[in-house]
A and B are shown apart, each in its own frame.
Chain A
């Protein structure tokens, strides 16, 4: 319910121009990464992606944290592919992404950026229905499961 209220307040109030479209922050869980050269290779690959401003890799907690600039064209798929190319396994990710809310032909709610589209879901159905009415751009935080899908489970809407 709190999420629904946040959606109704913020989705209608925030002007489109106030939001940079695309990923702002990603915390990507990685399995199989055990050594410093592993972390070094991933860090270097991620820094090469478009608009990446900062990368932090944790061996002990198994993740790469990526902060992206407003002009970034990098996608979550790009981040996961960079990790795979280093020989490791990307699992779930926590993302902070801005985009436009659209509805697919089959009624699914989507968050679309210039370069990527996420299918949205939330435990609170009211939140989703109110997001569906948002004409402006929104920023959402949530988790994306492992694999190649872009199913974004919303935790918060800004």
Chain B
């Protein structure tokens, strides 16, 4: 049970974060946004994860709106309720990432953008978002409180290769000595569009990514005391693929743990998988 808590806590959080990468980006790692001014986008995602003991599925939706070409608003929320899932997800023991029931509203500010040539762009983005719990009052025995997520990402996009590196933290408000542990993370992505997929618009546009995520979760605190079997480190790596067809995008990927160092007897993670359907209005 604790393993699923761990995984769902992290993956639910990364679910929220990763869909910020809509447009041309990866599925698990951070990327810079691309919505034009006045443009809307919808990302509908399903995520599956498994530990050596258990597995679960969750659904989530994110709406994006381009306030300006370099300032984007996003709203991410769960679809359905935990009870509708084949395995109701809790949050991770030792993670601070958004749980299944969290609504996340955020701003993405692309503060640097340089286009040196045809099809090439370097850019950097800051992310700030607020988390509001709408699901369980308590997760793994700790009161669920509002949270704050801060992130930064920089990268390069072209017709042949892509890369992004980013990182961030998610912090929860402390209440009556309870606080879900802070989570710090780093992400790295390398993308490649094979020559066979470089046909010109409006032909379908495909690319392949290798994504890496490193997570560092602090221990939870309950009634002012540290919670055992919480917190830990994890490094995950895996492939993903993005297909774009005019106003539609579809992306799928899987992450496998390369290294895990969990505090306590939490079950180890076996994989995370995600599928996202995107539409640009």
- Chain A residues within 8 Å of B, Cβ to Cβ: 29-43, 45, 57-62, 84-89
Contacts and interface: CB of A to CB of B under 8 A. Distances in A.
Contacts of B249: 36-37
Contacts of B83: none
Interface residues of B, number: 35
Contact of A58 (B117, B201, B280): B201
B200 A58 contact: yes
A35 B120 contact: no
Interface of B: 23-24, 34-39, 66, 69-70, 110, 113, 115-121, 157-159, 198, 200-202, 204-205, 244-247, 249, 280
A67 B13 CA distance: 46
B201 A57 contact: yes
Contacts of A38: 23-24, 34
10 contacts: A32-B121, A36-B244, A36-B246, A40-B280, A59-B200, A60-B198, A86-B36, A86-B69, A87-B36, A87-B70
B247 A86 contact: no
Contacts of B117: 31, 62
Contacts of A43: 201
Given A37-B280, A45-B36, A87-B36, A31 B24 contact: no
Contacts of A34: 24, 119-121, 157-159
A92 B205 CA distance: 26
Given A31-B118, A85-B36, A39 B201 contact: yes
Contacts of B39: 41, 86
B34 A37 contact: yes
Given A31-B120, A35-B205, A89 B115 contact: yes
Residue of A35, A41, A58, A86 with highest tally of chain B CB at under 10 A: A35
A67 B154 CA distance: 37
A36 B205 CA distance: 6
Nearest to A88: B115
A84 B115 CA distance: 12
A27 B82 CA distance: 52
Given A35-B34, A60-B119, A85 B280 contact: no
A37 B202 contact: no
A59 B69 CA distance: 19
A41 B118 contact: no
A28 to B, nearest CB: 12
A11 B247 CA distance: 45
Given A35-B34, A45-B36, 10 more contacts: A32-B121, A33-B118, A33-B119, A37-B249, A41-B36, A41-B280, A60-B119, A61-B118, A87-B113, A88-B115
Contacts of A32: 113, 115, 119-121, 157
Contacts of B70: 87
B69 A85 contact: yes
Contact of B24 (A29, A35, A61, A84): A35
Contacts of B159: 34, 59-60
A94 B268 CA distance: 60
Nearest to A33: B119
Nearest to A86: B36
Nearest to A57: B201
A37 B246 CA distance: 6
Nearest to B25: A35
